[in-house]
Amino acid sequence: MSSANETQTPPNAPAEAGNGDRERPVDCRETDRMNPYDDSDASFVYCDVRGDRSDEERQLAAVMEIANAISSRLDLNQILSAISRELSKVIEYDIGCVAIYEKERCGLFMRHVWRRGGETTGEGRFVPLDDSNLVGWVANHRKPVLRCNIPADGRFREIMKEDGLKSDIVVPLVAKDTLVGTVNVGSYELNHFSDFDLDLVVRFSKLTSIAIEKCQLLRELDDLGEKYRLLMKNASEIIVILNAQGEFVECNRAMCEISGYRPDELIGRSMFLVTFPERMDEAKRHFFQMLRGEITRISEVPCRKKNGDIVVIDISGGVMRIKGDPYVVLIAHDITDRRALQERITAQNDELTEINRKLRELDDLKNEFLGRISHELRTPLSVIMAYTGTLLEDRDQTIDPQTRSEFLRIIDDHSNKLLGLINDLLDLSRVEVSRTMLHKSEGSLNDIVKISLRIAEPVAAQHRVELVAELDAAIPIMSFDPLRIRQACVNLLGNAVKFSHDGGVVTISSRGGDGEAVISVTDHGAGIGKDEIPKLFEKFSQLDGGASREKDGLGIGLRLVKHYVELHGGRIWVESEAGKGSTFSFSIPCRQQE
């Protein structure tokens, strides 16, 4: 900082008379300092007022008083207020202010303008940082200036011209070679200020610079802290700070949102609050490895939310030291959705693999079907053709009427069998293509069972199998498709007769309860092994399947029954034991939602 003896004055500056109100010896002379301005008019006047030791003591006391006033303040407005108040106690002036340098705007702003009588204002006007004005010149050259006759100085554009100041002091504020601003005091009198006043302001400016710089640094720290808090609060990533004991020191909003805990429920608590008990040892090992700097990343870590749900995160971390103590900073990303997507993709891949397997099975099934249908259709067709050919060749009527009648009966039986096979295939095709083929009406389920018995009786008679009905009269009137339910009952009865021993008994029963009606068909035949039951409802499945099997048919009867029952919203199941017969049952809901 410059002393009072370094005050700048241009060459040939004229001497100024006193103002009459204040008598003092004035020595106006040129300085030997270089001045960038011409010497046409007096701009900078050095006023030398000789002081005694009492002035030095008074100056020192004033500086100490100002230092005490501003040293305990941290707020910039409070410091500026203290500067104006304390300086006015030791220097008589009419207007005073501090101009603060703002690097971003390349200029100074007059702050806390003080006027005689205690009037102050806050934010002031902008002062360009150039030599066109005295404040800008002092800030650029970092030289203190005392002007005893402002009206005689036409070198500068006056920033506060409307106030009509006659003399002033402008001193730069510099802290550690960094410009902070300027201190400015002015008077309505000519030759009002002495070099004692100037020296006091210069000394005062050193304390002021340090105080303002400290305040600005604290404000920058506050700004950084606020930015840090905003970053922590608004970051989409999870940010957590843990101490060396694994306790939460800081956490952001993302951590609270994903864990379900409030900040006060986390701060001071152990990180193991969000760790599943069975993974506690693993979590401790990873934490201390990260604290020692051995690892910086952990992938797919399951964490426990407050409500017990699982969230999966990827963690990146590092160690920082605050006052020598280590802290672990963790940044985590929620990958729960990504993990779920990966699991779905894996499941879909497994599903596609299973579909491919089923397609291969379907291809094998197609080949089996072609072989089976060729056999099933060829057999009755061959019989029909053989007997028909025999009758056609008997032009001479050598075949007696009884034999001819038997031939026609055989042709009729095999024609009906062929028609039944074709109808079964058509029914199965229609059922698997359409889910809306039902034609429901309200009726008695027991009536359908009785009709089914009459249809199945001829087949049962051929095998000498007795059909028995056990019907529950309490079954209410229901809504169902009578044709499809009758086909289901006939198919089950036909299977039971087919696999019963000659002279056996097949029982069909009905019962109601639990909001559904159940139809069961029981036989006392060979029964079904447990490992064969799951195959029963597959297409073209027969327990004695193959070209040499004893029982005829395409093996699609149970498949049709299953479809008919499921179209009604019911279910089908079988209970059987090898050697003891089987019971096939299906249910239909009493009330169905259309």
Whole-number percent of the chain with pLDDT over 90:
22
User: What whole-number distance in Å separates Cα of residue 515 and Cα of residue 425?
Assistant: 33
Which amino acid, residue 303? C
Does the pLDDT at position 95 exceed 70? yes
pLDDT at 50: 39
* 8 Å CB contact between 330 and 316: yes
The rounded mean pLDDT for the chain is 78
Does the pLDDT at position 532 exceed 60? yes
User: What whole-number distance in Å separates Cα of residue 450 and Cα of residue 475?
Assistant: 14
What's the pLDDT band for 225 if we cut at 50, 70, 90? low
| 335's tokens | 């990958």
* 8 Å CB contact between 45 and 146: yes
User: What whole-number distance in Å separates Cα of residue 110 and Cα of residue 100?
Assistant: 6
Calculate mean pLDDT across residues 506-517. Answer: 92
118, 120, 136: which is closest to 128 by C-alpha? 136
- Structure confidence by residue, pLDDT tens digits, 323-335: 888 999 898 888 8
Radius of gyration from C-alpha coordinates of the chain? 54
Q: Of 372-386, 431-445, 484-498, where does mean pLDDT reach its minimum?
A: 431-445
pLDDT at 166: 92
Tell me how many degrees the CA angle 12-18-22 measures, rounded to the nearest 5.
145
H-helix segments, 308-400: 336-393
What's the pLDDT band for 588 if we cut at 50, 70, 90? very high
Does the pLDDT at position 159 exceed 60? yes
What is the pTM (predicted TM-score) of this model? 0.37
Tell me how many degrees the CA angle 108-111-117 measures, rounded to the nearest 5.
140
381 versus 586: which is more confidently predicted? 586
pLDDT at 73: 56
Does the pLDDT at position 506 exceed 90? yes
Q: At what angle do helices 195-234 and 76-90 cross, to 10 degrees?
A: 170
Dihedral angle at the C-alpha atoms of 473, 478, 484, 489, nearest 10 degrees? -20
Does the pLDDT at position 9 exceed 50? no
pLDDT at 114: 82
Does the pLDDT at position 432 exceed 60? no
What's the pLDDT band for 61 if we cut at 50, 70, 90? low
Handedness of CA 101, 106, 112, 117 (dihedral sign): positive
Residue carrying structure tokens 């910086």: 296
pLDDT at 479: 92
Calculate mean pLDDT across residues 273-277. Answer: 90
> Which of 44-48, 158-162, 374-378, 492-496 has the highest mean predicted lDDT (pLDDT)?
492-496
Calculate mean pLDDT across residues 86-99. Answer: 83
H-helix segments, 277-335: 280-291
User: DSSP 3-state assignment of 438?
Assistant: coil
Does the pLDDT at position 291 exceed 60? yes
Which residues, at least 6 apart from 446, have a Cβ–Cβ distance to it below 8 Å? Answer: 471, 472, 473, 475, 510
pLDDT at 499: 86
Tell me how many degrees the CA angle 100-101-107 measures, rounded to the nearest 5.
120
| 67's tokens | 């230092």
pLDDT at 363: 80
What's the pLDDT band for 427 if we cut at 50, 70, 90? low
What's the pLDDT band for 63 if we cut at 50, 70, 90? low
Does the pLDDT at position 369 exceed 80? no
- Structure confidence by residue, pLDDT tens digits, 402-423: 888 888 888 887 887 788 777 7
- Neighbouring-strand partners of residue 98: 111, 183
DSSP 240: E
166 phi, psi to nearest 5 deg: -105, -25
Handedness of CA 486, 489, 495, 498 (dihedral sign): negative
Calculate mean pLDDT across residues 187-213. Answer: 84
What's the pLDDT band for 470 if we cut at 50, 70, 90? very high
The 10 Å Cβ neighbour count of residue 578 is 12
496 phi, psi to nearest 5 deg: -60, -40
What's the pLDDT band for 189 if we cut at 50, 70, 90? very high
360 burial type by CB count under 10 A (0-12 exposed, 13-18 middle, 19+ buried): exposed
What's the pLDDT band for 178 if we cut at 50, 70, 90? confident
* 8 Å CB contact between 87 and 204: yes
The H or E element containing residue 238 is: strand 238-242
pLDDT at 103: 83
What's the pLDDT band for 25 if we cut at 50, 70, 90? very low
Calculate mean pLDDT across residues 433-446. Answer: 77
DSSP 1: -
pLDDT at 410: 86
Calculate mean pLDDT across residues 109-117. Answer: 79
DSSP 534: G
- Neighbouring-strand partners of residue 119: 115
| 81's tokens | 């207020």
User: What whole-number distance in Å separates Cα of residue 44 and Cα of residue 46?
Assistant: 7
